[in-house]
Chain A
Amino acid sequence: SQQGEEDPQALSIQEGENATMNCSYKTSINNLQWYRQNSGRGLVHLILIRSNEREKHSGRLRVTLDTSKKSSSLLITASRAADTASYFCASMNSGYSTLTFGKGTMLLVSP
C-alpha cells in the first residue's frame, strides 16, 4: 500500500507563480525524496532530504521536512511551463531498503 500521500492531487498555476506540494508519510524514515514524472516517461530524482535535516534547497526547489508531523513539502519557485509534470514524494524506511511512493501531484503550469 502507498504510505505517502500528496496534497493536492492536482495543481494549476500560471508561469512565474510558486507551486507548493505537500506529502505525508506513516512510518519512521531515513530520508524522503521527491521525483518528477513527465507524461509518458520514467521518474526523475529531484532532491533528497535526510531525517535529521529540516530544509534543503536545489535551484528553484525548496524542500522541508517535519518528522514530528511526518510531513514534507516541495516548493517550486518562479514556475515555468516546463515544470508541468507529476511530482511524487518517496519515503526511504529506516531499514534502508525500499522507497514507498505517494500517488503524486499533477502540476500544470500555463504560459
Chain B
Amino acid sequence: DAGVIQSPRHEVTEMGQEVTLRCKPISGHNSLFWYRQTMMRGLELLIYFNNNVPIDDSGMPEDRFSAKMPNASFSTLKIQPSEPRDSAVYFCASSFVPGQGATRETQYFGPGTRLLVL
C-alpha cells in the first residue's frame, strides 16, 4: 500500500491567495483526519470525517478554512483567503473502524504539506 498521500508537499503563497491541500487516504480506511502542526501549538486536530461525513470541525480555526470529502478516496482542505499565521505543516491521517461502537485506534499519517504564507 502506498500509504496516505498528500499534495503538494510544499506550498508557498502570498497572503490573500486561496490554498488547496489534497489527501488520499489508505484504501479501505473509513476515517480521515486533518491536523495542523506548529512549533507554538503542536499538533492540532482541525476536522475529521467518518464514512465521508464531517463529524467534528470544532478545531477549524475560522470560516476561512473549509474541508470536503467527496468520496472515500479523496479529501481537500481549503484556506481562503490565506494569512501568514496559517503557515504550518498540515497533516492528513486515516484509520479504519470495523463497525459502529468499535474503537478508532491507530492513525496513519501522510508526509504533510508544508505551507508558507508570505
Contacts and interface: CB of A to CB of B under 8 A. Distances in A.
Given A97-B56, A98-B56, A45 B42 contact: no
Interface in B69-118: 91, 93, 101-112
A92 B45 CA distance: 13
Contacts, number: 58
Nearest to B105: A48
B40 to A, nearest CB: 9
Nearest to A100: B45
- Determine the interface band of chain B, counting residues with CB < 8 A from chain A: 20 to 34
B43 interface: yes
B42 A102 contact: yes
A78 interface: no
Contacts of B4: 42
Interface residues of A, number: 22
A39 B53 CA distance: 32
A88 B35 CA distance: 14
A33 interface: yes
Given A97-B56, A98-B45, A45 B104 contact: no
A92 B110 CA distance: 20
B107 A45 contact: yes
Contacts of A104: 42-43
B42 A101 contact: yes
Given A42-B111, A43-B91, A48 B42 contact: no
A43 B109 contact: yes
Contacts of B103: 30-31, 92, 96
Given A2-B42, A43-B91, A104-B42, A31 B105 contact: yes
